[in-house]
Chains A and B, each alone.
Chain A
């Protein structure tokens, strides 16, 4: 007869669990900081101050996080802080604030940042603080049990100056990273992106201080996205109906539509969201530098990884890939913000690994709901504003062709710049030396002085041309910057002055001293270069005795910057006129020219346009209009 023997077997955890919960659960230092800030919010803080001291040659980096939350006494600390995976936050219902965390692991993020943690915390009405020292290195031994690791607490510690009536200070020691500028920026960015732009958490401020850098220090504000060309705002009603509101730059009349109630969506009641779609990829400034994607926020705080570049959680990229580009939503132009609430949507929870939503009927309903919204957006884009795909492809082709040429030019000019500047330096120095020596020998001569200054002037000119060529050839075709457009036009014309002179053409450049504009420099240079080449060529066939003049002018109207290139050439033959701006050049054109149609496409990508007026045997005038930005 076998003897039965029953045992109750206790579960235990190895001290290594801490490494899994702390150092290895968070993908980067920046997100560990985000996690600690969220913890501060959950403790009822209205202000949390993150201060980072980047490492210097003299001292390692330091991180201090101070909040004015409720703080903890020893009993609280033992119950709330010291038990891994324990949180009372999912039980908190009343009260003014809905906690962001519920998993009970956020505080261990401090391990990711440094090897030690000093917690100083004070509750209202106490004259002393509780100070706890945690050494994460003690968890390194896998054979040790989790519960055997201890932290030292002192209940009568003096209150540090940065702590107010109540709150907590976290001092991270043995900081693992150097916190150089790029990492500090990434942390600041992560904190900005933590906040819901449309429903930010109430009564909560994050101050970000970087020691020794007032420019990096700032109060954290959520990103601001400008009004897009098409905006769909939606909210789920109690009945399960979804209310839509359309607006946007390209919508003349904002309209509202209510979809029929869907029982499945009742569990999403209270959800609201916004899909912002730009017809052209927006400039960074229009979207506060946000990367495209549909983000999910809960009670004002971002849920990772939804909306990240790698997380195609709504299958937008996949759909576009499957339809070989025939889908109308271009992922890089879509910015989405979906807000949910912990109380209203208890079943929308993310996994501890921050990878996905836990699969529940509610999370499936959320996906269906958002897919519907995306379909509605896609319909609207298709019917109202889509640029035909073939046109877009042509534009891409034109840009690719131009980029390839620029790249070749860039390699060439980089080497050339260095090669040319060495002999230029020698000529400049030695010419100056001759002059100096002559005057030291008592020879002062008007002609020598003039020769010297002529050499100076022309060296400067060569050098400026080298710089300009190098600059246009290293630029990309979409980056816009605030520049003196007059200067760019004048310099580009300058590059052609010798060529014009050789052909007996007078190049008349009429530009103001300064005309600020926000433009893409290479585009201007390329388009103007093309027009000048065309104008010079148009002059080849005209009579010897006729006036050969190319006039380039820059003016402005209330809406546009206007560049005109006027030649006194043969005019464009009637049979070519119609095709000139309509036919796609295949790259057979030589020189700088990429064809006028390509110029037109590149210009249109920036909201500009090109047109011409021509008359046989009188000449041609090309007009380029570039829209002014609102802020200039």
Chain B
């Protein structure tokens, strides 16, 4: 089985390297990018399964970067990590909001533990190696026509449709 490729974008070298080491030890293939530009370059070279990016970076914010990466790699799943102040709301709530705004799949507060990081990455990878092709195909189809948001709406609808059918069938 081939290892999953993970792209780590953070302007802080220490954090970047630490995350990379953690993921390497967990048998992933991490690649580091120190800036948004570098991240986009890496995306032109390889396809990644997951991108981990900092919410606040000097040259471009994480949300904008994510939108650009998505344009190159619509299949990529994402984890936004941030040391922002607002710890009052829990991670799931922020994740939901981010999902609505930029389709970030997951959100983690810094400092995040290694277990939580690895767990978050694993959760985003397809369980048995099989991609959710139909939904992803719909996402790509529409992202050509319109925005990423529209594409994700389509994916969401498809998912719900399938769940409903599953419920109905049995």
Which residues from chain A contact B115 at a C-beta distance below 8 Å?
432
* Structural contact, B83 and A421, CB atoms closer than 8 A: yes
A57-B153, A417-B83, A459-B111 given; A425·B25 CB < 8 A: no
Interface residues of B in 105-162 (CB under 8 A from A): 110-115, 117, 146-147, 149-150, 153
Residues on A with C-beta less than 8 A from B56 are 418
Q: In the complex, are the beta carbons of B85 and A474 less than 8 A apart?
A: yes
Measured CB to CB, the closest approach of chain B to A217, in angstroms, equals 18
- Bound Cα distance from A31 to B45, whole angstroms: 54
Q: Does B60 contact A (CB under 8 A)?
A: no
Report how far A424 CA is from B110 CA in the complex, Å.
Answer: 8
| Bound-complex Cα distance A250 to B85 (A) | 42
Q: A57-B147, A421-B110, A433-B22 are in contact. Are A426 and B85 (CB under 8 A)?
A: no
Query: B residues within 8 A CB of A470?
Result: 85
Q: Mark B66-80, 1 if CB is under 8 A from A, else 0.
A: 000000000000000
Please measure, in the bound complex, the distance between the C-alpha atom of A569 and the C-alpha atom of B101, giving whole angstroms.
55
A308 close to B (CB within 8 Å): no
Taking a contact as CB atoms under 8 Å apart, the answer to whether B150 and A429 are in contact is no
Pair A422/B110 contact, Cβ less than 8 Å: yes
CA distance A496 to B115 in the complex (A): 31
A474 proximity list for chain B (CB < 8 A): 85
Report chain A residues within 8 Å CB of B26.
Answer: 436
For A421, what are the chain B residues with a Cβ–Cβ distance below 8 Å? Answer: 83, 110-111
Task: Determine the chain B residues whose CB is within 8 A of the CB of A426 once the complex forms.
Answer: 12, 14-15, 18
Question: Contact: A422 with B85, CB < 8 Å?
Answer: no
- Asked if A229 is at the interface (CB within 8 A of a chain B CB), the reply is no
- Nearest neighbor of A58 in chain B, beta-carbon distance: B150
B25 pairs with A467, CB closer than 8 A = no
Nearest Cβ distance between residue B24 and chain A, in whole angstroms? 9
Q: Which of A110-141 contact B (CB under 8 A)?
A: none
Q: Tell me if B21 counts as interface (CB < 8 A to partner A).
A: yes
Residues of A within 8 A of B87 (CB): 467, 471
Distance of A425 Cα from B108 Cα, bound (Å): 12
How many residue pairs at the A-B interface have CB separations less than 8 Å? 80
Give chain B nearest CB distance to A24 CB in angstroms: 33
Given A414-B85, A421-B110, also A429-B19 (CB < 8 A): yes
Within 8 Å by CB of B113, from A56, A432, A437, A440, lies: A432
Cα–Cα, bound, A418→B56 (Å):
10
Instruction: Give, as a whole number of angstroms, the nearest-CB distance from A532 to chain B.
Output: 23
Whether a CB of chain B sits under 8 angstroms from the CB of A609 is no
Kindly state whether residue B167 has any CB partner on chain A within 8 Å.
no
| Chain B residues whose C-beta falls within 8 Å of the C-beta of A471 in the assembled complex | 85, 87-88
Chain A residue nearest in CB terms to B88 = A471
How far, in whole Å, are A459 and B110 apart by their CA atoms in the complex?
11
Query: Is A476 close to B, CB under 8 A?
Result: no
Residue A162 at the chain B interface, CB threshold 8 Å = no
Interchain nearest-CB distance for A410 vs B (Å)? 9
Q: Which residues of B contact A396 (CB under 8 A)?
A: none
Contacts A418-B56, A421-B83, A459-B111 given; indicate if A433 touches B18 (C-beta within 8 A): yes
| Chain B positions within 8 Å of A428 at CB level | 111-114
Please tell me if the beta carbons of A432 and B22 are within 8 angstroms of each other in the complex: yes
Q: Are B12 and A422 in contact (CB under 8 A)?
A: yes
Closest to A481 in B: B88
Question: Cα distance A470–B85 when bound, in Å?
Answer: 7
Q: How far is the CA of A426 from the CA of B18 in the complex (A)?
A: 6
B84: chain A residues within 8 A (beta carbon) = 418
A423 to B13 alpha-carbon distance, docked (Å):
10
Interface residues of A in 398-449 (CB under 8 A from B): 414, 417-418, 421-430, 432-433, 436-437, 440
Q: Is A312 an interface residue (CB 8 A)?
A: no
User: In this assembly, does A463 line the interface, its C-beta being within 8 Å of a C-beta of chain B?
Assistant: yes
| CB-based contact B21/A425 at 8 Å | no
The residue on A at minimum CB distance from B85 is: A470
- With contacts A422-B12, A422-B14, A429-B114 taken as known, whether A467 is within 8 angstroms of B85 at the C-beta atoms is yes
Asked if B85 and A432 sit within 8 Å, CB to CB, the answer is no
The distance in angstroms between the C-alpha atoms of A298 and B26, with both chains bound, is: 71
Q: Which residues of B contact A417 (CB under 8 A)?
A: 83, 85
> Considering the chains assembled together, what is the distance between the CA atoms of A474 and B25 in angstroms?
39
Chain B's closest residue to A432 (CB) is: B114
Q: Is the CB–CB distance between B25 and A440 below 8 Å?
A: yes
Given contacts A421-B83, A422-B83, A429-B114, contact A58 B146 (CB under 8 A): yes
Say whether B146 contacts A425, CB under 8 Å: no
- Residues from chain B with a CB closer than 8 A to the CB of A427 are 111
Q: A residues within 8 A CB of B25?
A: 433, 436-437, 440
The 7 A-B residue pairs with the shortest CB-CB distance, nearest first, are A421-B83, A429-B18, A432-B114, A426-B14, A425-B111, A424-B111, A57-B150
Given A428-B114, A429-B114, 14 new contacts (CB under 8 A)? A57-B150, A58-B150, A417-B85, A421-B83, A421-B110, A422-B12, A426-B15, A429-B18, A429-B111, A432-B22, A432-B115, A433-B25, A437-B25, A467-B87
Name 19 A/B residue pairs within 8 A (Cβ), A-sorted: A56-B150, A57-B147, A57-B149, A58-B146, A58-B153, A414-B85, A418-B84, A424-B110, A425-B83, A429-B15, A429-B21, A429-B22, A432-B114, A432-B115, A436-B22, A436-B25, A437-B25, A467-B88, A471-B85
